[in-house]
Amino acid sequence: MNAPLSRRSLLQQAAGLGVSVSFLGGSAFAAADGAMAKRKMVVVICRGGMDGLSVSPPVGDPDYAVLRGAVAVTPDQALKLDGTFGLHPALESVHALALKGQARIAPAIASPDRARSHFEAQDVLETGAAEVYGVGTGWLNRTLEAMGPSNVEALSVGATAPLILRGKVQAASWSPGQGVDETARLPTLLQDLYKADPIMGRAFARGLETEAMAQQAMTGLNPAPTPVSTETTMMAATPMWRNAVNAQGMTPSAMAPKAQAVAGQRQGREAARKLGSTLAGFMVQAGGPRIAAISLDGWDTHAGQVGQLNTRLSYLDAVLDGLNTGLGAAWSDTVVVVATEFGRTARVNGTGGTDHGTGSTALVLGGGLKKGGIIGDWPTLKQEALFENRDLRPTLDMRGLFKGVLAEHMGVDRAALETKVFPDSAEARPVSGLV
């Protein structure tokens, strides 16, 4: 059964693919001067431990192919960046931007956490704390606090609220679905009942407001519905070929039906691109959010890594492409940072995958980036250079990259960065010269 999908249902698919988006609003920056007031920032969190050595494979490092064996990206496959690094072949749009100087890599970066636990490392990445349980609020939320919040808006697209934007500022959230008329009787009566509840009242009010904004964000887009199958089944939103090699007794080739995977991937890319352009649609509205966060799940590639990463990086590339296209002229005022909680082991494991590691790659994109090589130093993959003889050694603290973008690009006060947004981060010097 084939029928054109509406924009909403495409976005619903994107949500089912483990993508969610969060915003923080514009009015906090009203006091900033003219040029700064247009600046935008997007943080993309890749959850599960994204393998930096596949995102920006160091194909010119002599130890890379040896350590990675069958899961290495070959020099032929890699989209060339310089003598050492390439990009994964699925990152076509990112590569096109890199050639224009609008995308750079930080190939050996990590948060201060070293426990190799997803949950602890994501907490550290999102709270901006020096260690786990240090802080209970997200650093994007505290960024707004630092700038003197007044009528600040926060929104997450996705059904649940991510830690990075939890805090004093009420985060709104939105995901595709049937809307609610905020002027109807029932919402009004409910708001009365929620007055005494500590959290339901403000969450509900935010939800009603955001519905209106969403309508505008979506109508601002070019309607370009792509014909894809509307047949949905309960589990369909998780790509079936993901982890396919986990299934017992079967060879990988037998379980990765290429035609199906390719069709599904194209559909997934389209949904992911829509998500990126809808996010852009929110951001280009007058008074729209200037800070946003996107979550992408599914990076924990313990087995069958090559196929999984191809799919996930293809989605990531499409989200970024949608953002870039949707922002239009505003792309030159925008910086996007793609980060993950940790990288993966330098060596391939026994199951065609990699285990929890340390250093990984962050991508930095934007129309206003200064040209330059890699961000941070490359420690190499020599055995003596590996962290605990196991992982890529990080040479750059993730907080330094975030602080650099917030200071140089968004104009956040440097003292506030050190005390409020990233407390106890003095050793993580802000990266300079990005914009």
Contacts to another protein from residues 79-98, by CB under 8 A = none
Binder to another protein among 7, 40, 104, 116 (CB under 8 A)?
116
- By C-alpha distance, which of 393, 394, 413, 395 is closest to 403? 413
Nearer to another protein, 219 or 260 (CB): 260
Q: Which amino acid is at 64?
A: Y
What phi and psi, each to the nearest 5 degrees, are found at residue 323? -60, -50
Reading across the β-sheet that carries 291-296, which strands appear in turn? 171-174, 154-157, 19-24, 291-296, 40-46, 334-340, 360-365, 103-110, 396-397
Q: How many residues bind another protein (CB under 8 A)?
A: 83
Q: What angle, 0 to 180 degrees and rounded to 10, lies between the N-to-C axes of helices 200-219 and 258-283?
A: 100
Retrieve residue 373's tokens. 């090589």
- By C-alpha distance, which of 225, 298, 174 is closest to 10? 225
From the DSSP assignment, how many helices (H) and strands (E) are in the chain?
Answer: 14, 13
Rounded least distance, CB 243 to another protein, Å: 4
Binder to another protein among 33, 249, 286, 371 (CB under 8 A)?
249
Q: Does 307 bind another protein (CB under 8 A)?
A: no
- Contact predicate 354/302, CB 8 Å: yes
Q: Does 259 bind another protein (CB under 8 A)?
A: yes
Rounded least distance, CB 181 to another protein, Å: 11
Nearer to another protein, 3 or 159 (CB): 159
Selected range binding another protein among 97-105, 189-197, 330-338, 415-423, rule: CB under 8 A: 189-197
Rounded least distance, CB 80 to another protein, Å: 28
Return d(Cα 296, Cα 338) in angstroms, integer.
10
Binder to another protein among 208, 369, 375, 434 (CB under 8 A)?
208
Binder to another protein among 32, 237, 385, 435 (CB under 8 A)?
237
Nearer to another protein, 99 or 212 (CB): 212
Nearer to another protein, 97 or 171 (CB): 171
Q: Does 248 bind another protein (CB under 8 A)?
A: yes
Rounded least distance, CB 238 to another protein, Å: 6
What phi and psi, each to the nearest 5 degrees, are found at residue 109? -120, 150
- Contact predicate 354/343, CB 8 Å: no
Reduce the DSSP state of residue 207 to 3 states and report it: helix
Binder to another protein among 34, 83, 178, 222 (CB under 8 A)?
178
Binder to another protein among 134, 187, 225, 423 (CB under 8 A)?
187
Alpha helix stretches (DSSP H) within 181-304: 185-193, 200-219, 252-255, 258-283
- Contact predicate 265/311, CB 8 Å: yes
Selected range binding another protein among 56-64, 76-84, 113-121, 366-374, rule: CB under 8 A: 113-121
Strands 40-46 and 19-24: unpaired
Rounded least distance, CB 297 to another protein, Å: 6
Query: Which residues within the stretch 13-72 sit at the binding site for another protein (CB under 8 A)?
Result: 16, 18, 47-48, 70
What does the angle CA 361 – CA 366 – CA 370 come to, to the nearest 5 degrees? 85
What does the angle CA 172 – CA 177 – CA 180 come to, to the nearest 5 degrees? 70
Rounded least distance, CB 93 to another protein, Å: 26
Reduce the DSSP state of residue 374 to 3 states and report it: coil
Q: Does 286 bind another protein (CB under 8 A)?
A: no
Rounded least distance, CB 234 to another protein, Å: 4
Selected range binding another protein among 140-148, 235-243, 365-373, 394-402, rule: CB under 8 A: 235-243
Query: Which residues within the stretch 118-177 sit at the binding site for another protein (CB under 8 A)?
Result: 118-120, 132, 155-161, 166, 170-175, 177
